[in-house]
Amino acid sequence: MENLFSIAGKTALVTGGSRGIGLMIARGYVAAGARVYISSRKADVCTAAAAELGKSGTCIAVPADLSSLTGIEHVVREISARETQLDILVNNAGATWGGKIDDFPESGWDKVMDLNVKSVFFLTQKFLPLLEAAARPTAPARVINIGSIDGLHTSLFDNFSYGPAKAAVHHLTRVLATHLAARHITVNAIAPGPFATDMMAPMVARMGDEIINRVPLKRMGGQEDAAGMAIFLASRAASYVTGTVLPLDGGMLGAS
């Protein structure tokens, strides 16, 4: 039982791992003894984040734009050149777009759908050889998708492509879990509520305490909340969990 939640020695990729929830997860994985790769679009930010996390463990930057198949294949090549297996894939990279319904642009739809949904499928697809190399019947490889409670209820904000994209991620999680179970790969999703991230900052600035007042636990999510859930899903404790969407929202969904 003492190693039930251990991920020490595992190899993980966290996309969007240079900031926000992705950085929280990557930091938790490094502290827990995993060998962690992070990927994000801005090379300087990605490299700086990996250098910072690398002070307490192993973290390697692989910058790329994951909204395109070219960027996805670049990350797969880079990691495949260094690793013979991948134990944990965290599909966290994402974007949002705010705008009124009357003039919401096509670009705001396509950008969010490409990064939030398409990249989840194709990264998982392209990493299947490395995931299968790590997979065992009682120690499956893990795919962890980062959804949102906006994919489980109607958002307060004018982000018309974000909620539908995250709802698609949740259903894709169930589809992939069903198809990959026979390959000993589990697929689960985390659906975060309000977290103290750069993405949330403009909404917090505009709405202030109204957001926190809607959270039964009366606070934003933080480092230990994101890392704890991601470590659980990657650990032996969750080896029999697949096809689930787990809210991480301080009770918002249950109270809505």
Task: Tell me if 5 is assigned to some domain.
Answer: no
162 is catalytic: yes
- Tell me whether strands 35-39 and 245-248 are parallel, antiparallel or unpaired: unpaired
Residue 18 has pLDDT above 90, yes or no: yes
Q: Which is the catalytic residue, given 29, 37, 162, 240?
A: 162
Residue 108 has pLDDT above 80, yes or no: yes
pLDDT confidence of residue 213: 87
The enclosing domain of 20 has a CATH number of 3.40.50.720
Task: Tell me if 256 is assigned to some domain.
Answer: no
Dihedral angle over CA of 203, 207, 213, 219, nearest 10: 40
Give the global pTM. Answer: 0.94
Name which of 92-96, 122-126, 133-137, 250-254 the model is least confident about: 92-96
Q: Which residue has the higher pLDDT, 201 or 2?
A: 2
Q: What 8-state DSSP symbol labels residue 156? A: S
Task: Tell me if 84 is assigned to some domain.
Answer: yes
Task: Tell me if 254 is assigned to some domain.
Answer: no
- Domain extent at residue 42: 11-249
Task: Tell me if 168 is assigned to some domain.
Answer: yes
At 184-225, the pLDDT tens digits run: 999 999 999 999 887 777 777 777 678 888 899 999 999 999
- Tell me whether strands 11-15 and 35-39 are parallel, antiparallel or unpaired: parallel
Residue 131 has pLDDT above 80, yes or no: yes
Task: Tell me if 3 is assigned to some domain.
Answer: no
Helix, coil or strand: residue 35: strand
In the predicted model, what is the mean pLDDT of residues 13-31?
Answer: 97
In the predicted model, what is the mean pLDDT of residues 98-121?
Answer: 89
Task: Tell me if 58 is assigned to some domain.
Answer: yes
pLDDT confidence of residue 109: 86
Q: Please, which pLDDT band fits residue 56 given cuts at 50, 70 and 90?
A: very high
Residue 32 has pLDDT above 90, yes or no: yes
pLDDT confidence of residue 20: 95
Contact (CB, 8 A) for 234 and 181: no
Task: Tell me if 1 is assigned to some domain.
Answer: no
Number of domains in the chain: 1
pLDDT confidence of residue 61: 98
Helix, coil or strand: residue 82: helix
